Amino acid sequence: MAPRRPHGTQRGVWTSLLLMWITCAPTASTSLLAEQPRSSDRGGSATGPRRLAEGQATLARAKRGWVWNQMFVLEEFSGPDPILVGRLHTDLDVGNKNLKYVLAGEGAGTIFAINDKTGDIHAMKRLDREEKAEYTLTAQVINRDTNEPLEPPSEFIIKVQDINDNAPEFTSGPYHATVPEMSQVGTSVTRVTATDADDPVYGNSAKLVYSILEGQPYFSIDPNTAVIKIALQGMDREMRQEYLVVIQAKDMGGHMGGLSGTTTVTVTLSDVNDNPPKFSKSLYEFTIPEDLGIGQPGGKVKANDRDVGENARSMYSIIGGDDKDVFEITTDPQTQEGILRLKKPLDFETKKSYTLRVEATNVNFDPQFSGSGPFKDTATVKITVEDSDEPPVFTQPSYLVEVHENTGVNTVIEQVAAHDPDVSGSLVRYFIDRHTDLERQFNINVEDGKITLAKPLDRETDMWHNITVMATEVRNHSQISRAIVAIKVLDINDNAPEFATEYETFLCENGKPGQVIQTVSAVDKDDPKNGHFFIYSLVPEMSNNPNFTIKDNKGEEEATLSAQGGRKTNDLLPAQLRVSRSCELIKKHQTEKWGKDCGISVAADVTPAVTELHIPKEEQMNNGQISKKPSCDSTQGDSSCRHRVTDGAKFVC
């Protein structure tokens, strides 16, 4: 089968395109050839040229043969008649009416139809290369009567030829990009991408060129890579933050007649720290009361920064002025305001105004903009102190008073003083906070602040009294001040000495004269500066007591009582002592038999108070044994029996 084609039946434009539909390549000899429509005969034939009934030229087999195994059909053809794709022809077709051309494969009978007599193949529908680019079919010649194949089937391909019927598309648009303000010319912003559904291999239908329709002179775009760049120096976010750029992609290499598509790119300039803080005014004036609390805000200043976020953060400081240590300034992290706070108390009567020099400095400094000048600003703050009604002020915050405990009632022991610090100067009245003087031990004169005794003092009961004195203004009772008055009660010798404990003394009947039988001690509630000094002695009526003698340990805290002689009776042996410190009871001489009990009376030194010490009566001791006490043996001598009595003194036999 040899290819054939119609001659002069197509329009000029189609004729020129059809010249490209057939591809030649060397092949072996074949029996079935396909013919595509062409504008003129091509090649020679061993049998010479043939003519068709329609006046078309027939291409016979050449020595090299025809490559007929692919055909082309133009996409999107929408003429009134089916478009002729090509013609099949066999060498057997020499006018034999029994030949029949058969077509099978993709689209056979639906998209493509063949004239079974002539072998003409027509496209019956409008084709779209973007839907399907090629079709694989099989051609065969059979006997029309018997349907027997006259030649083996041959497979060929019909390719849909592309035309520029698709415009470029930006599938990811619209785009958003961010670039720092003040970026250098040529700084990359972003890249866009367009796609074209046309054949990228055939022609320039899919060759795209990019350009900017809107956005100049601020931005440029590379026509091939579609990279958008900064085109203008010094783009300032504070002047304009956002730009809308329109990008076009055009196929056919950008030439006339090409199709195009557009997208938008929203470019936002991000902030850099290129602006210093700036105070809204050079002078700030505030009036604050003198009773403003420590740490309380007294005023606010604000340095505005055209930058945003971290680049707009400022730090405030006091760099000059009079008494700048009285105030401090901190930054409010939310509002970026400078808050003036009080560090020390104000006193209108001492200083009525302050002038400060305040500075605002950027926290985050960008060195690349250092040439733009210092990133800080200063302002003056004038503060006027407003007089407040202050409470009275005591001449001293606390008072220490020493008073003897025998001071008489109504005696003035101290005088406190307070004054109104205000310019108007109100009179002051004084009171005692009775919560600190529940016993009402003291009184105060409301007019002059003199403190007097209301009740007698007793150092042995309360050595200290701490009272609070209040001073208030006559014209404003809510203005109150307080001062502590600490009263120390001084001691006088108003208490008689007392024995430290009750003594219970036991002794052996065979004790030797001069032996210490008891050490006694006394205490005194008074508190002399140099310590107590006691004198111990037997009371006058017992000074001739033949049984005991007392030794005063001068300068010591104790005295010793010694046995002097013995008695054979079991009666009480009285011994009264006059006390100053302590004493020892000493046995004077050996007796045949001791009485069981000794009684000792004790008298004070200079006071009429008298305390007695009694030695209770015991059962008669046998062989030196004392009831309820450790035993002592008279045959063992003085050291045979020792015992500690109730007050800690030693009892010795």
Q: Among 270, 298, 318, give the residue marking a domain's end.
A: 270
Residue in 539, 528, 533 with CA at minimum distance from that of residue 581: 533
pLDDT bracket for residue 26 (50, 70, 90): very low
Tokens standing for 649? 């003194």
- Mean pLDDT of the 219-239 span: 95
Q: 3-state DSSP call for residue 436?
A: helix
Is residue 605 located within the same domain as residue 502?
yes
Q: What percent of the chain has pLDDT over 70?
A: 72
pLDDT bracket for residue 22 (50, 70, 90): very low
CA distance 297 to 18: 92
pLDDT bracket for residue 32 (50, 70, 90): low
Nearest 5°: the CA angle 568, 574, 579 is: 145
Exposed / middle / buried, residue 328 (Cβ in 10 Å: 0-12, 13-18, 19+)? middle
pLDDT at 579: 53
Contact 536, 578 (CB under 8 A): yes
Whether the predicted pLDDT of 641 surpasses 50: no
- Mean pLDDT of the 232-260 span: 93
Going edge to edge, which strands form the sheet with 242-250? 175-180, 260-270, 242-250, 209-214
Whether the predicted pLDDT of 617 surpasses 70: no
Is residue 453 located within the same domain as residue 570?
no
pLDDT bracket for residue 205 (50, 70, 90): confident
Residue type, 338: G
pLDDT at 221: 96
Whether the predicted pLDDT of 640 surpasses 80: no
Residue with the bigger pLDDT between 121 and 46: it is 121
Whether the predicted pLDDT of 64 surpasses 50: no
User: Which are the contacts of 173, defined by CB distance < 8 A and separation ≥ 6?
Assistant: 192, 263, 264, 265
Residue in 47, 38, 42, 46 with CA at minimum distance from that of residue 10: 38
Whether the predicted pLDDT of 422 surpasses 80: no
CA distance 221 to 263: 13
Residue with the bigger pLDDT between 443 and 516: it is 443
Is residue 317 located within the same domain as residue 374?
yes
pLDDT bracket for residue 501 (50, 70, 90): confident
Tokens standing for 32? 């079935």
User: 284 - beta bridge partners?
Assistant: 381
Q: Among 203, 238, 270, give the residue marking a domain's end.
A: 270
123-127, 166-170, 422-426, 433-437: which range is least confident on average? 422-426
With respect to residue 38, please indicate whether it lies within any of the assigned structural domains: yes
- Mean pLDDT (the chain, rounded): 75
- In which element (H, E) is residue 18 found? helix 12-18
pLDDT at 296: 93
Residue in 264, 158, 162, 265 with CA at minimum distance from that of residue 207: 162
Going edge to edge, which strands form the sheet with 412-415? 412-415, 450-453, 442-444
pLDDT at 570: 40
- Mean pLDDT of the 562-583 span: 48
Residue with the bigger pLDDT between 467 and 322: it is 467
17-21, 332-336, 482-486, 528-532: which range is least confident on average? 17-21
Is residue 298 located within the same domain as residue 402?
no
Highest average pLDDT, of 84-93, 210-219, 500-509, comes from 210-219
DSSP string across 55-120:
S-EE----SS----SEEEEETT---SSPEEEEEEEETT-SS-TTEEEEEEETTBTTTEEE-TTT-E
Whether the predicted pLDDT of 620 surpasses 80: no
Is residue 181 located within the same domain as residue 248?
yes
Residue with the bigger pLDDT between 121 and 16: it is 121
pLDDT bracket for residue 413 (50, 70, 90): very high
- Mean pLDDT of the 599-625 span: 36
pLDDT at 599: 35
Contact 476, 426 (CB under 8 A): yes
- In which element (H, E) is residue 12 found? helix 12-18
Whether the predicted pLDDT of 575 surpasses 60: no
Residue with the bigger pLDDT between 32 and 265: it is 265
Is residue 84 located within the same domain as residue 50?
yes
Contact 168, 205 (CB under 8 A): no
With respect to residue 1, please indicate whether it lies within any of the assigned structural domains: no
Is residue 517 located within the same domain as residue 646?
yes
pLDDT at 354: 94
Whether the predicted pLDDT of 411 surpasses 90: yes
CB atoms within 10 A of CB 268: 13
Whether the predicted pLDDT of 255 surpasses 80: yes
Whether the predicted pLDDT of 92 surpasses 70: yes
User: Which are the contacts of 502, defined by CB distance < 8 A and separation ≥ 6?
Assistant: 613, 614, 646
With respect to residue 167, please indicate whether it lies within any of the assigned structural domains: no
With respect to residue 344, please indicate whether it lies within any of the assigned structural domains: yes
CB atoms within 10 A of CB 285: 12
Highest average pLDDT, of 45-59, 271-285, 570-584, comes from 271-285
Domain harbouring 145, CATH code: 2.60.40.60
The sign one gets for the Cα dihedral 468, 474, 476, 477 is positive
Residue in 106, 109, 90, 82 with CA at minimum distance from that of residue 155: 106
pLDDT at 284: 96
Is residue 606 located within the same domain as residue 580?
yes
Is residue 284 located within the same domain as residue 263?
no
Residue with the bigger pLDDT between 536 and 212: it is 212
With respect to residue 4, please indicate whether it lies within any of the assigned structural domains: no
Whether the predicted pLDDT of 573 surpasses 60: no
User: 139 - beta bridge partners?
Assistant: 103, 154
pLDDT at 560: 66
pLDDT bracket for residue 564 (50, 70, 90): low
Residue type, 649: A
pLDDT at 626: 34
Whether the predicted pLDDT of 649 surpasses 80: no
- Mean pLDDT of the 450-466 span: 93
pLDDT at 499: 81
Residue with the bigger pLDDT between 563 and 19: it is 563
| Dihedral class, residue 203 (left if φ above 0, else alpha if ψ from -120 to 50, else beta) | left
- In which element (H, E) is residue 398 found? strand 398-404
- Mean pLDDT of the 64-87 span: 71
Is residue 619 located within the same domain as residue 647?
yes
Q: What is the pLDDT of residues 537-556, one digit of tens each?
A: 777 777 677 777 777 666 55
| CA-based max dimension of the chain | 190
CA dihedral 423, 425, 430, 436 (to 10 degrees): -10
Is residue 133 located within the same domain as residue 209?
no
With respect to residue 542, please indicate whether it lies within any of the assigned structural domains: yes
- Mean pLDDT of the 458-485 span: 91
User: Which are the contacts of 370, defined by CB distance < 8 A and separation ≥ 6?
Assistant: none
77-91, 227-241, 324-338, 442-456: which range is least confident on average? 77-91
With respect to residue 27, please indicate whether it lies within any of the assigned structural domains: yes
Residue type, 66: W
pLDDT bracket for residue 622 (50, 70, 90): very low
* Number of structural domains the chain divides into: 5
396-402 long-range contacts (CB < 8 A, ≥24 apart) are 396/483, 397/483, 397/484, 398/483, 398/484, 398/485, 398/486, 399/469, 399/483, 399/484, 399/485, 399/486, 400/486, 400/488, 401/451, 401/485, 401/486, 401/487, 401/488, 402/487, 402/488, 402/490
With respect to residue 170, please indicate whether it lies within any of the assigned structural domains: no
CA distance 495 to 489: 15
244-253, 266-275, 409-418, 532-541: which range is least confident on average? 532-541
25-39, 358-372, 399-413: which range is least confident on average? 25-39
Task: Provide the residue range defining the domain that includes 216.
Answer: 175-270
pLDDT bracket for residue 371 (50, 70, 90): low
Is residue 33 located within the same domain as residue 106?
yes
Q: Among 113, 133, 161, give the residue marking a domain's end.
A: 161
